[in-house]
Structure 1
Amino acid sequence: MRIYEYRTEFAGLPVAEFSPSADPSKEALASPASYAWAVRTGYDEDAFGDVWARFLKTVDTSGITALVIGYWGIYEDKTDVPRLLSDAAAALPALRALFLGDIQAEEAEISWIQHSDTTPVFTAFPALERVEVRGASGLSFEPVRSEALRLLRFESGGLPSSVVRTVGQSALPNLEHLDLWLGDGDYGGDATVDDLAPFLSGEALPKLRHLGLEDSDIQDAVAAALAGAPVVARLESLSLAMGTLTDTGAEALLSGQPLGHLKKLDLRHHYLSDMMAERVRTALPGVEIDLDGQQELDEDGGLYVEVSE
């Protein structure tokens, strides 16, 4: 899967575009707090720092609650986006939701998106309730302490173990939704099951209701770990989608703790046999189960995650 479209909605709001090639509508300028604002530049267009400065000057940002950051140059522009955001904290006092990296494949493949130290974002905006990040190359941040954060999501073709461990070391007592696209080892996804221990125990995230450990090339091992993980008993939804789940991992799930309390189990993009897929459906009759995207081994017996490069 490759991402070819920008976000048109974020945090429950329609997206208003601000870029060198997209002037905001009169409606958006008249009521900026009614939109999630996407600020981006394009290849061979104005430097992102200049676009960002115009955005702050043009739009009344005092009531904006949701912000989407798109293409910022990636290679040719070395702008420190987290620092730009943190420096503008006073102009964005109402910010509660941030998407960092709304970049489509024609601009940069997900594993080519170059990040930096994102700590300034969390420090400057302690009231953030929702943070989503696409891409993981160069991504880092210090352990976060936040009473406000409710949703945290990392989309990547390979999430570094250092990022996974940092999330596990963070103090997020009110986090309800966590998605980690663990990715492929060939694209930097080197996290192990041991790195997932803080999430699996449930101790670090007492309010967690959704857990997604997705797009992983060690999906069977993750499934086996979840089979006995204390956190599962209080989840409402669990996702092992997009990865290399086979009959071995599904068997581990079915042989482990009860899953009938879940509202949804997402196993989309999997390598289950028809027989095993039917076993999963039969074993969990009251659970909404997504088993779309059944994959077949390639001629060399290879398994592939849905999102890598």
Structure 2
Amino acid sequence: MTVGHHMREFHDLPVFEFPTEDARVELPDAAAVAWRLSAPTYSEPEDELWEPLFERFLKTVDTGRVRAVVVGGWDEAYENSSADIVAALIGANNRLTGLEAVFLGDMDSEDCEISWIIQSDVTPLLAAYPALREFGVRGGSELAFPSIRHTGLETLVVETGGLGADVVRGIAGSDLPALENLELWLGTDTYGADSTPEDLAPLLSGSSFPALRSLGLCNSVIQDEIAAAVASAPVVARIERLNLSMGVLTDEGAAALLDGQPLTHLAHLDLSHHFLSEAMRERVLAALAPHGVTVVLDDALEPEEYNGVVYRFVAVAE
């Protein structure tokens, strides 16, 4: 599966597409929407590229009132990295003085497959906006996230079909005292995922992110190992929402999760996109639902078999 549509809401604001030069569109109040700034990924000579579009945006909108920016596509995003986009946003930090949220790479599969998006080191962007509260990025190819300190960030989402261990370690080792929501799409080794639960150790131990209340470790080909690690992770005792969806979760991982520490304090547990037996689904619900835990369990997926080998798949890969 792939990412099938552009974002419709971001930072609790409706997403509004900044129009083309010749469009006659009334613009909303600058603070009332998340501004989507996007250029064609397969551009024609007459198309406006991302950097000129961004300059026009800065001249058109009351930049001091802009709260959220969604970066969509840029020219040949499957070959050109996001480094120039990051630099442009950094260069505008004296104008985007009210910016609270940035999402980098809102492309669907027709724009650019998630594992083809070429990213870059995104941490200078965070450093340039110390008041940023929410940051998201899509695409793991060439993505870098060395450990940083940021005192304002409350939500961090990294969506990939394959997340490198160096990025996982960089995020887990960061100093983010205000972080409440963390969601990582770990992906599959086919597209660069090479992390292990040990790479998440600072996060799982509870020594990182003292404000964390919602944790998503999703879309993983090693979802059973992740579930087993979470089962004994001290951080789980103080979170309210746990998301282990989109991955290759089988009865082995679910059993490890249930046999570990109590999960009855959770408000929400998402196990959607799974490979659990009916008996295991019933066991999960019986263990948690009576305690008021909302458990998301859709119908089980069927493994595929080819030449006697059984294959299970994550929700989002290529």
Same fold (TM over 0.5): yes
Residue 144 of structure 1 and its aligned partner are, at CA, apart by 1.8
Query: What SS is found at the alignment partner of 2:285?
Result: helix
Question: Aligned Cα RMSD in Å?
Answer: 1.5
Q: 2:39: which partner in 1? A: 41
Residue 69 of structure 1 and its aligned partner are, at CA, apart by 0.3
> Counterparts in 2 of 1:79-98, with a 5 A limit?
80-98=84-102
Matched, 1:302 2:311: yes
The amino acid across from 2:33 in the alignment is: Y
Cα distance in structure 2, aligned partners of 1:38 and 1:6? 10
Q: Which of 62, 71, 96 in structure 1 is aligned with 2:64?
A: 62
Residue 76 of structure 1 and its aligned partner are, at CA, apart by 5.9
Cα distance in structure 2, aligned partners of 1:127 and 1:185? 35
Residue 5 of structure 1 and its aligned partner are, at CA, apart by 1.6
The amino acid across from 2:8 in the alignment is: T
Cα distance in structure 2, aligned partners of 1:23 and 1:76? 29
Query: What SS is found at the alignment partner of 2:311?
Result: coil
The farther-off stretch of 120-129 and 67-76 is 67-76
Q: 1:288: which partner in 2? A: 294
Change (3 A) 1:76 1:142: closer
Residue 19 of structure 1 and its aligned partner are, at CA, apart by 4.7
The amino acid across from 1:37 in the alignment is: W
Query: What SS is found at the alignment partner of 2:31?
Result: helix
Cα distance in structure 2, aligned partners of 1:32 and 1:291? 39
Change (3 A) 1:188 1:19: farther
Query: What SS is found at the alignment partner of 1:223?
Result: helix
Query: What SS is found at the alignment partner of 1:306?
Result: coil
Query: What SS is found at the alignment partner of 2:105?
Result: strand
Q: 1:144: which partner in 2? A: 148
TM-score in terms of structure 1 length: 0.96
Structure 1 gaps, min length 5: none
TM-score in terms of structure 2 length: 0.93
Q: 1:2: which partner in 2? A: 2
Q: 2:204: which partner in 1? A: 200
Residue 23 of structure 1 and its aligned partner are, at CA, apart by 4.0
Q: What percent identity do the matched residue pairs reach?
A: 48
The farther-off stretch of 17-26 and 253-262 is 17-26
> Counterparts in 2 of 1:6-45, with a 5 A limit?
6-20=6-20, 23=23, 25-28=25-28, 31-42=29-40, 43-44=42-43, 45=47
The amino acid across from 1:295 in the alignment is: L
Cα distance in structure 1, aligned partners of 2:166 and 2:22? 37
Change (3 A) 1:22 1:263: farther
Structure 2 gaps, min length 5: none
Change (3 A) 1:139 1:77: closer
The amino acid across from 2:164 in the alignment is: P
